Structure 1
Amino acid sequence: MDMTTLLLYVITVSAVMMTPGPSMLLALNNGASHGMRIAGCGIAGAALSDLILIGAVGCGLGALLQASEQLFSVVKWGGAVYLFYLAWVLWHAPTQALVNTPAQGAARGRSAFARALLVGLSNPKGLLFFSAFLPQFVRPQEPVAQQYVILALVSAAIDCMMMVIYALGGRHAMRTFSARVMQWINRSCAGLLAFLAVGLSLYRRSDVR
Protein backbone atom coordinates (compact mmCIF):
# COMPACT_ATOMS: atom_id res chain seq x y z
CA MET A 1 0.00 0.00 0.00
CA ASP A 2 1.51 3.31 -1.09
CA MET A 3 1.38 6.51 0.96
CA THR A 4 -1.00 8.25 -1.46
CA THR A 5 -3.62 5.54 -1.01
CA LEU A 6 -3.15 5.54 2.76
CA LEU A 7 -3.44 9.34 2.94
CA LEU A 8 -6.65 9.25 0.92
CA TYR A 9 -8.00 6.60 3.29
CA VAL A 10 -7.10 8.70 6.34
CA ILE A 11 -8.85 11.77 4.94
CA THR A 12 -11.98 9.85 3.96
CA VAL A 13 -12.27 7.93 7.22
CA SER A 14 -11.69 11.07 9.27
CA ALA A 15 -14.53 12.82 7.47
CA VAL A 16 -16.85 9.88 8.13
CA MET A 17 -15.89 9.31 11.77
CA MET A 18 -16.15 12.91 12.93
CA THR A 19 -19.94 12.79 12.60
CA PRO A 20 -21.73 12.29 15.96
CA GLY A 21 -22.60 8.59 15.89
CA PRO A 22 -23.36 6.38 18.92
CA SER A 23 -19.69 5.88 19.88
CA MET A 24 -19.00 9.62 19.76
CA LEU A 25 -22.07 10.38 21.87
CA LEU A 26 -20.99 7.82 24.46
CA ALA A 27 -17.53 9.39 24.58
CA LEU A 28 -19.07 12.83 25.06
CA ASN A 29 -21.33 11.61 27.83
CA ASN A 30 -18.60 9.60 29.56
CA GLY A 31 -16.30 12.60 29.53
CA ALA A 32 -19.01 14.84 30.98
CA SER A 33 -20.42 12.42 33.55
CA HIS A 34 -17.44 10.33 34.65
CA GLY A 35 -14.22 12.05 33.54
CA MET A 36 -11.49 11.20 31.09
CA ARG A 37 -10.37 7.96 32.76
CA ILE A 38 -13.79 6.35 32.32
CA ALA A 39 -14.13 7.91 28.88
CA GLY A 40 -10.78 6.33 27.99
CA CYS A 41 -12.17 2.89 28.85
CA GLY A 42 -15.11 3.51 26.54
CA ILE A 43 -12.78 4.70 23.80
CA ALA A 44 -10.75 1.51 24.14
CA GLY A 45 -13.93 -0.56 23.75
CA ALA A 46 -14.94 1.34 20.63
CA ALA A 47 -11.45 0.98 19.14
CA LEU A 48 -11.54 -2.77 19.78
CA SER A 49 -14.88 -2.96 17.98
CA ASP A 50 -13.28 -1.28 14.96
CA LEU A 51 -10.48 -3.85 14.92
CA ILE A 52 -12.95 -6.73 15.25
CA LEU A 53 -15.23 -5.39 12.51
CA ILE A 54 -12.40 -4.89 10.03
CA GLY A 55 -11.02 -8.31 10.92
CA ALA A 56 -14.49 -9.74 10.23
CA VAL A 57 -14.56 -7.99 6.87
CA GLY A 58 -11.18 -9.48 6.03
CA CYS A 59 -12.54 -12.94 6.91
CA GLY A 60 -15.61 -12.47 4.71
CA LEU A 61 -18.26 -11.98 7.43
CA GLY A 62 -19.30 -8.67 5.94
CA ALA A 63 -20.26 -10.43 2.73
CA LEU A 64 -22.20 -13.02 4.77
CA LEU A 65 -24.15 -10.26 6.53
CA GLN A 66 -24.81 -8.65 3.16
CA ALA A 67 -26.14 -11.95 1.78
CA SER A 68 -28.23 -13.14 4.73
CA GLU A 69 -31.46 -11.25 5.35
CA GLN A 70 -32.12 -13.16 8.59
CA LEU A 71 -28.67 -12.49 10.06
CA PHE A 72 -28.85 -8.84 9.05
CA SER A 73 -32.27 -8.44 10.72
CA VAL A 74 -31.08 -10.07 13.96
CA VAL A 75 -28.03 -7.81 14.22
CA LYS A 76 -29.95 -4.70 13.15
CA TRP A 77 -32.81 -5.08 15.64
CA GLY A 78 -30.43 -6.14 18.40
CA GLY A 79 -28.41 -2.98 17.82
CA ALA A 80 -31.52 -0.78 17.71
CA VAL A 81 -32.87 -2.22 20.96
CA TYR A 82 -29.51 -1.72 22.67
CA LEU A 83 -29.33 1.92 21.53
CA PHE A 84 -32.84 2.51 22.88
CA TYR A 85 -31.73 0.98 26.18
CA LEU A 86 -28.69 3.28 26.35
CA ALA A 87 -30.92 6.26 25.54
CA TRP A 88 -33.20 5.33 28.46
CA VAL A 89 -30.21 4.97 30.80
CA LEU A 90 -28.77 8.36 29.84
CA TRP A 91 -32.16 10.07 30.07
CA HIS A 92 -32.58 8.92 33.68
CA ALA A 93 -28.92 9.28 34.67
CA PRO A 94 -28.41 11.66 37.63
CA THR A 95 -26.01 14.55 37.24
CA GLN A 96 -23.27 14.08 39.83
CA ALA A 97 -19.82 15.29 40.77
CA LEU A 98 -16.79 13.47 39.38
CA VAL A 99 -15.92 11.79 42.67
CA ASN A 100 -15.44 8.03 42.55
CA THR A 101 -13.90 5.46 44.86
CA PRO A 102 -11.36 3.11 43.21
CA ALA A 103 -13.96 0.31 43.17
CA GLN A 104 -16.59 2.54 41.57
CA GLY A 105 -14.08 3.76 39.01
CA ALA A 106 -13.10 0.23 38.02
CA ALA A 107 -16.72 -0.87 37.72
CA ARG A 108 -17.67 2.16 35.66
CA GLY A 109 -14.59 1.69 33.48
CA ARG A 110 -15.58 -1.90 32.73
CA SER A 111 -19.15 -0.81 32.07
CA ALA A 112 -18.02 1.97 29.71
CA PHE A 113 -15.71 -0.44 27.87
CA ALA A 114 -18.46 -3.06 27.47
CA ARG A 115 -21.06 -0.51 26.33
CA ALA A 116 -18.83 0.98 23.67
CA LEU A 117 -17.75 -2.45 22.46
CA LEU A 118 -21.35 -3.68 22.20
CA VAL A 119 -22.48 -0.51 20.45
CA GLY A 120 -19.82 -0.99 17.81
CA LEU A 121 -20.38 -4.72 17.32
CA SER A 122 -24.20 -4.59 17.36
CA ASN A 123 -24.44 -2.00 14.59
CA PRO A 124 -24.56 -3.73 11.18
CA LYS A 125 -24.01 -0.38 9.45
CA GLY A 126 -20.39 -0.41 10.56
CA LEU A 127 -19.72 -3.89 9.19
CA LEU A 128 -21.52 -3.20 5.92
CA PHE A 129 -19.77 0.15 5.57
CA PHE A 130 -16.34 -1.38 6.00
CA SER A 131 -17.31 -4.22 3.64
CA ALA A 132 -18.17 -1.75 0.88
CA PHE A 133 -15.46 0.78 1.69
CA LEU A 134 -12.25 -1.05 2.59
CA PRO A 135 -11.82 -3.16 -0.56
CA GLN A 136 -11.46 0.05 -2.59
CA PHE A 137 -8.14 0.68 -0.80
CA VAL A 138 -6.82 -2.89 -0.87
CA ARG A 139 -4.53 -3.89 -3.73
CA PRO A 140 -5.05 -7.58 -4.54
CA GLN A 141 -1.56 -7.89 -6.04
CA GLU A 142 -0.04 -7.07 -2.63
CA PRO A 143 -0.36 -9.02 0.67
CA VAL A 144 -4.05 -8.56 1.54
CA ALA A 145 -3.84 -9.49 5.23
CA GLN A 146 -1.08 -6.96 5.85
CA GLN A 147 -3.15 -4.23 4.19
CA TYR A 148 -6.20 -5.03 6.32
CA VAL A 149 -4.07 -4.87 9.46
CA ILE A 150 -2.76 -1.43 8.45
CA LEU A 151 -6.24 -0.13 7.63
CA ALA A 152 -7.66 -1.55 10.88
CA LEU A 153 -4.98 0.12 13.02
CA VAL A 154 -5.35 3.42 11.17
CA SER A 155 -9.14 3.32 11.52
CA ALA A 156 -8.95 2.59 15.25
CA ALA A 157 -6.40 5.38 15.77
CA ILE A 158 -8.55 7.93 13.93
CA ASP A 159 -11.66 6.82 15.83
CA CYS A 160 -9.78 7.21 19.12
CA MET A 161 -8.66 10.72 18.21
CA MET A 162 -12.20 11.79 17.35
CA MET A 163 -13.63 10.27 20.53
CA VAL A 164 -10.98 11.96 22.67
CA ILE A 165 -12.08 15.30 21.22
CA TYR A 166 -15.72 14.54 22.06
CA ALA A 167 -14.79 13.34 25.56
CA LEU A 168 -12.71 16.46 26.21
CA GLY A 169 -15.65 18.55 25.08
CA GLY A 170 -17.88 16.78 27.57
CA ARG A 171 -15.29 17.20 30.34
CA HIS A 172 -15.00 20.92 29.62
CA ALA A 173 -18.79 21.23 29.68
CA MET A 174 -18.89 19.55 33.10
CA ARG A 175 -16.40 22.09 34.47
CA THR A 176 -18.14 25.08 32.89
CA PHE A 177 -21.87 24.55 33.08
CA SER A 178 -24.36 24.03 35.88
CA ALA A 179 -25.90 20.70 36.87
CA ARG A 180 -29.11 21.69 35.11
CA VAL A 181 -27.26 22.25 31.84
CA MET A 182 -25.43 18.94 32.29
CA GLN A 183 -28.77 17.19 32.69
CA TRP A 184 -29.82 18.79 29.42
CA ILE A 185 -26.64 17.47 27.78
CA ASN A 186 -27.37 13.96 29.10
CA ARG A 187 -30.90 14.07 27.76
CA SER A 188 -29.76 15.52 24.44
CA CYS A 189 -27.37 12.57 24.05
CA ALA A 190 -30.20 10.23 25.01
CA GLY A 191 -32.48 11.79 22.39
CA LEU A 192 -29.83 11.51 19.70
CA LEU A 193 -29.17 7.86 20.58
CA ALA A 194 -32.89 7.15 20.34
CA PHE A 195 -32.96 8.93 16.98
CA LEU A 196 -30.03 6.82 15.77
CA ALA A 197 -31.83 3.70 17.01
CA VAL A 198 -34.85 4.60 14.89
CA GLY A 199 -32.56 5.23 11.93
CA LEU A 200 -30.90 1.85 12.45
CA SER A 201 -34.27 0.08 12.61
CA LEU A 202 -35.13 1.58 9.21
CA TYR A 203 -31.71 0.77 7.72
CA ARG A 204 -31.56 -1.62 4.78
CA ARG A 205 -28.65 -3.57 3.35
CA SER A 206 -29.12 -1.88 -0.02
CA ASP A 207 -28.30 1.52 1.56
CA VAL A 208 -24.56 0.83 1.33
CA ARG A 209 -24.62 -0.03 -2.36
Structure 2
Amino acid sequence: MSLELWIAFVAASAALLALPGPTVILITSYAMNQGRRTGLATIPGVALGDFVAMTTSLLGAGAVLAASATLFTALKLVGAAYLVWLGFKLWKSRPELGEITSTGSSQSLGKMFWNAFIVTALNPKGIVFFVAFIPQFIDPAEPAFIQFVILEATFVTMAAINIALWVFLTDRFRAKFQNPRLLNSLNKTGASFLMGAGVFTALVGRNS
Protein backbone atom coordinates (compact mmCIF):
# COMPACT_ATOMS: atom_id res chain seq x y z
CA MET A 1 0.00 0.00 0.00
CA SER A 2 1.36 3.39 -1.00
CA LEU A 3 1.79 6.19 1.52
CA GLU A 4 -0.53 8.39 -0.53
CA LEU A 5 -3.33 5.81 -0.37
CA TRP A 6 -2.88 5.41 3.37
CA ILE A 7 -2.96 9.18 3.92
CA ALA A 8 -6.17 9.38 1.87
CA PHE A 9 -7.68 6.69 4.11
CA VAL A 10 -6.63 8.58 7.26
CA ALA A 11 -8.22 11.78 5.94
CA ALA A 12 -11.46 10.02 5.01
CA SER A 13 -11.60 8.23 8.37
CA ALA A 14 -10.98 11.47 10.26
CA ALA A 15 -13.90 13.08 8.43
CA LEU A 16 -16.11 10.10 9.27
CA LEU A 17 -15.13 10.02 12.95
CA ALA A 18 -15.67 13.77 13.31
CA LEU A 19 -19.42 13.23 12.89
CA PRO A 20 -20.93 12.44 16.33
CA GLY A 21 -23.15 9.35 16.33
CA PRO A 22 -24.86 7.17 18.96
CA THR A 23 -21.51 5.97 20.30
CA VAL A 24 -20.27 9.50 20.97
CA ILE A 25 -23.59 10.42 22.60
CA LEU A 26 -23.31 7.42 24.92
CA ILE A 27 -19.67 8.08 25.82
CA THR A 28 -20.17 11.80 26.53
CA SER A 29 -23.20 11.00 28.68
CA TYR A 30 -21.11 8.62 30.75
CA ALA A 31 -18.26 11.14 31.03
CA MET A 32 -20.66 13.92 32.02
CA ASN A 33 -22.17 11.62 34.62
CA GLN A 34 -19.07 10.13 36.24
CA GLY A 35 -15.98 11.83 34.84
CA ARG A 36 -12.93 10.85 32.86
CA ARG A 37 -12.47 7.44 34.53
CA THR A 38 -15.27 6.22 32.28
CA GLY A 39 -12.70 6.35 29.48
CA LEU A 40 -10.97 3.34 31.03
CA ALA A 41 -13.99 1.30 29.97
CA THR A 42 -15.52 3.12 27.03
CA ILE A 43 -12.36 3.65 24.97
CA PRO A 44 -11.46 -0.08 24.76
CA GLY A 45 -15.16 -0.89 24.36
CA VAL A 46 -15.45 1.33 21.29
CA ALA A 47 -12.13 0.10 19.88
CA LEU A 48 -13.23 -3.52 20.22
CA GLY A 49 -16.63 -2.70 18.73
CA ASP A 50 -15.07 -1.08 15.67
CA PHE A 51 -12.67 -4.00 15.34
CA VAL A 52 -15.54 -6.51 15.39
CA ALA A 53 -17.63 -4.45 12.94
CA MET A 54 -14.77 -4.04 10.47
CA THR A 55 -13.65 -7.66 10.75
CA THR A 56 -17.21 -8.87 10.27
CA SER A 57 -17.52 -6.65 7.22
CA LEU A 58 -14.31 -7.93 5.69
CA LEU A 59 -15.43 -11.50 6.28
CA GLY A 60 -18.48 -10.87 4.11
CA ALA A 61 -21.25 -10.27 6.62
CA GLY A 62 -21.74 -6.79 5.23
CA ALA A 63 -22.55 -8.19 1.82
CA VAL A 64 -25.14 -10.49 3.40
CA LEU A 65 -26.74 -7.60 5.26
CA ALA A 66 -26.80 -5.49 2.11
CA ALA A 67 -28.54 -8.30 0.21
CA SER A 68 -31.01 -9.38 2.90
CA ALA A 69 -33.70 -6.86 3.81
CA THR A 70 -35.05 -9.11 6.57
CA LEU A 71 -31.69 -9.64 8.29
CA PHE A 72 -30.78 -5.97 7.93
CA THR A 73 -34.09 -4.82 9.42
CA ALA A 74 -33.91 -7.30 12.30
CA LEU A 75 -30.40 -6.25 13.30
CA LYS A 76 -31.29 -2.58 12.88
CA LEU A 77 -34.30 -2.90 15.20
CA VAL A 78 -32.28 -4.76 17.83
CA GLY A 79 -29.65 -2.03 17.78
CA ALA A 80 -32.31 0.70 17.91
CA ALA A 81 -34.06 -0.92 20.89
CA TYR A 82 -30.75 -1.18 22.72
CA LEU A 83 -30.03 2.53 22.18
CA VAL A 84 -33.47 3.47 23.53
CA TRP A 85 -32.95 1.22 26.56
CA LEU A 86 -29.54 2.78 27.31
CA GLY A 87 -31.04 6.25 26.97
CA PHE A 88 -33.77 5.29 29.42
CA LYS A 89 -31.20 3.97 31.91
CA LEU A 90 -29.18 7.19 31.62
CA TRP A 91 -32.34 9.24 32.11
CA LYS A 92 -33.02 7.46 35.42
CA SER A 93 -29.41 7.69 36.64
CA ARG A 94 -28.30 10.42 39.07
CA PRO A 95 -25.11 12.25 38.00
CA GLU A 96 -22.41 12.54 40.64
CA LEU A 97 -19.81 15.29 40.80
CA GLY A 98 -17.30 13.13 42.63
CA GLU A 99 -15.02 10.41 41.30
CA ILE A 100 -16.23 6.83 40.98
CA THR A 101 -15.67 5.14 44.29
CA SER A 102 -13.51 2.05 44.48
CA THR A 103 -16.46 0.03 45.81
CA GLY A 104 -18.45 -1.21 42.86
CA SER A 105 -16.38 0.73 40.30
CA SER A 106 -15.33 -2.47 38.54
CA GLN A 107 -18.95 -3.45 37.94
CA SER A 108 -19.85 0.04 36.71
CA LEU A 109 -16.87 0.22 34.37
CA GLY A 110 -17.64 -3.29 33.14
CA LYS A 111 -21.16 -2.28 32.21
CA MET A 112 -19.87 0.81 30.43
CA PHE A 113 -17.38 -1.32 28.49
CA TRP A 114 -20.04 -3.72 27.23
CA ASN A 115 -22.52 -0.97 26.44
CA ALA A 116 -19.91 0.94 24.44
CA PHE A 117 -18.92 -2.26 22.66
CA ILE A 118 -22.47 -3.28 21.77
CA VAL A 119 -23.57 0.16 20.55
CA THR A 120 -20.48 0.37 18.33
CA ALA A 121 -20.48 -3.20 17.01
CA LEU A 122 -24.24 -3.74 16.69
CA ASN A 123 -24.69 -1.22 13.91
CA PRO A 124 -25.77 -2.71 10.55
CA LYS A 125 -25.35 0.61 8.78
CA GLY A 126 -21.74 0.69 9.96
CA ILE A 127 -21.06 -2.85 8.77
CA VAL A 128 -22.48 -2.14 5.32
CA PHE A 129 -20.59 1.15 5.22
CA PHE A 130 -17.27 -0.56 5.89
CA VAL A 131 -17.93 -2.95 3.01
CA ALA A 132 -18.33 0.01 0.66
CA PHE A 133 -15.64 2.16 2.31
CA ILE A 134 -12.62 -0.11 2.76
CA PRO A 135 -12.26 -1.45 -0.84
CA GLN A 136 -11.74 2.09 -2.13
CA PHE A 137 -8.33 2.12 -0.45
CA ILE A 138 -7.14 -1.33 -1.49
CA ASP A 139 -4.44 -1.62 -4.15
CA PRO A 140 -5.38 -4.70 -6.24
CA ALA A 141 -1.75 -5.12 -7.25
CA GLU A 142 -0.71 -5.89 -3.65
CA PRO A 143 -1.79 -8.62 -1.17
CA ALA A 144 -5.22 -7.70 0.17
CA PHE A 145 -4.83 -9.25 3.63
CA ILE A 146 -1.89 -7.07 4.68
CA GLN A 147 -3.71 -3.98 3.45
CA PHE A 148 -6.83 -4.95 5.38
CA VAL A 149 -4.75 -5.33 8.56
CA ILE A 150 -3.13 -1.92 8.08
CA LEU A 151 -6.42 -0.14 7.37
CA GLU A 152 -8.26 -1.83 10.22
CA ALA A 153 -5.49 -1.07 12.72
CA THR A 154 -5.41 2.53 11.54
CA PHE A 155 -9.17 3.05 11.85
CA VAL A 156 -9.49 1.36 15.26
CA THR A 157 -6.59 3.45 16.60
CA MET A 158 -8.14 6.65 15.27
CA ALA A 159 -11.54 5.69 16.72
CA ALA A 160 -9.97 5.13 20.15
CA ILE A 161 -8.19 8.50 20.01
CA ASN A 162 -11.42 10.19 18.94
CA ILE A 163 -13.33 8.73 21.90
CA ALA A 164 -10.52 9.64 24.28
CA LEU A 165 -10.75 13.27 23.13
CA TRP A 166 -14.52 13.28 23.67
CA VAL A 167 -14.10 11.81 27.16
CA PHE A 168 -11.47 14.29 28.30
CA LEU A 169 -13.16 17.32 26.73
CA THR A 170 -16.48 16.34 28.29
CA ASP A 171 -14.83 15.84 31.67
CA ARG A 172 -13.20 19.26 31.48
CA PHE A 173 -16.53 20.81 30.51
CA ARG A 174 -18.25 18.90 33.32
CA ALA A 175 -15.89 20.28 35.95
CA LYS A 176 -17.27 23.78 35.36
CA PHE A 177 -20.74 22.71 36.40
CA GLN A 178 -21.09 22.47 40.17
CA ASN A 179 -24.88 22.75 40.16
CA PRO A 180 -26.37 19.23 40.55
CA ARG A 181 -29.63 20.33 38.91
CA LEU A 182 -27.80 21.65 35.86
CA LEU A 183 -25.67 18.49 35.66
CA ASN A 184 -28.82 16.40 35.90
CA SER A 185 -30.40 18.41 33.07
CA LEU A 186 -27.34 17.85 30.87
CA ASN A 187 -27.44 14.14 31.65
CA LYS A 188 -31.11 13.94 30.65
CA THR A 189 -30.34 15.87 27.46
CA GLY A 190 -27.73 13.25 26.52
CA ALA A 191 -30.20 10.49 27.38
CA SER A 192 -32.84 12.12 25.18
CA PHE A 193 -30.44 12.30 22.25
CA LEU A 194 -29.51 8.65 22.78
CA MET A 195 -33.16 7.56 22.74
CA GLY A 196 -33.74 9.80 19.74
CA ALA A 197 -30.86 8.13 17.92
CA GLY A 198 -32.47 4.76 18.63
CA VAL A 199 -35.82 5.90 17.23
CA PHE A 200 -34.11 7.39 14.17
CA THR A 201 -32.19 4.16 13.60
CA ALA A 202 -35.43 2.19 13.72
CA LEU A 203 -37.23 4.49 11.29
CA VAL A 204 -34.50 5.19 8.74
CA GLY A 205 -34.72 3.19 5.51
CA ARG A 206 -32.19 0.69 4.25
CA ASN A 207 -31.03 2.86 1.39
CA SER A 208 -31.07 6.24 3.14
Q: TM-score when scaled to structure 1?
A: 0.93
Q: What corresponds to 2:192 in structure 1? A: 191
Partner of 1:206: 207
1:17: Cα distance to partner? 1.0
- Cα pair 2:34 2:95 within 8 Å, conserved: no
| Partner Cα distance (1:9, 1:174) in 2 | 33
* Code of the aligned partner of 1:102: S
- 2 CA distance for matches of 1:2 and 1:24? 31
Shift of 1:40: 2.5
Which has the higher mean CA deviation after the structures are superposed, 26-35 or 162-171?
26-35
Aligned to 2:36: 36
How many residue pairs get aligned? The number is 207
Q: TM-score, normalised by structure 2?
A: 0.93
Q: After superposition, where does 1:41-190 map in structure 2 within 5 Å?
A: 41-177=41-177, 178-190=179-191
Q: Distance in 2 between matches of 1:138 and 1:57?
A: 15
Supply the distance in 2 between the matched residues of 1:143 and 1:103 (Cα, whole angstroms).
50
Q: CA RMSD in A?
A: 1.4
- Output one character per residue of 1:69-102: Cα deviation in whole Å (capped at 9) or x when no partner: 1211111000000010011111111021333333
Q: Whole-Å Cα distance in 2 between the matches of residues 180 and 174 of structure 1? A: 13
Structure 2 residue runs without a partner (length 5+): none
Q: Which runs of 5+ in 1 are unaligned?
A: none
Query: 8 Å contact 1:90–1:190 — kept in the other structure?
Result: yes
- 1:167 CA drift (Å): 0.8
How many Å apart are 1:154 and its aligned residue?
1.0
Residue in 2 that maps onto 1:21: 21
Bigger drift between 28-37 and 56-65 goes to 28-37
Give the Cα–Cα distance (whole angstroms) in 1 for the partners of residues 143 and 180 of structure 2.
Answer: 53
Q: How far apart, CA to CA, are the structure 1 residues paired with 2:172 and 2:197? A: 25
Q: Which moved more, 1:183-192 or 1:106-115?
A: 183-192
- Partner SS for 1:32: helix
Shift of 1:64: 0.7
Shift in alpha-carbon separation, 1:103–1:143, aligned structure 2, 3 A? farther
Percent identity between the aligned chains?
Answer: 29
How big is each residue's C-alpha offset from its partner over 1:148-167, in whole Å with a ceiling of 9 and x where there is no partner?
11111111111112111211
Q: Distance in 1 between matches of 2:19 and 2:182?
A: 23
Contact conserved, 1:55 with 1:148, CA < 8 A, in 2?
no
Letter in 1 for 2:112: A
**Paired letter, 1:22:** P
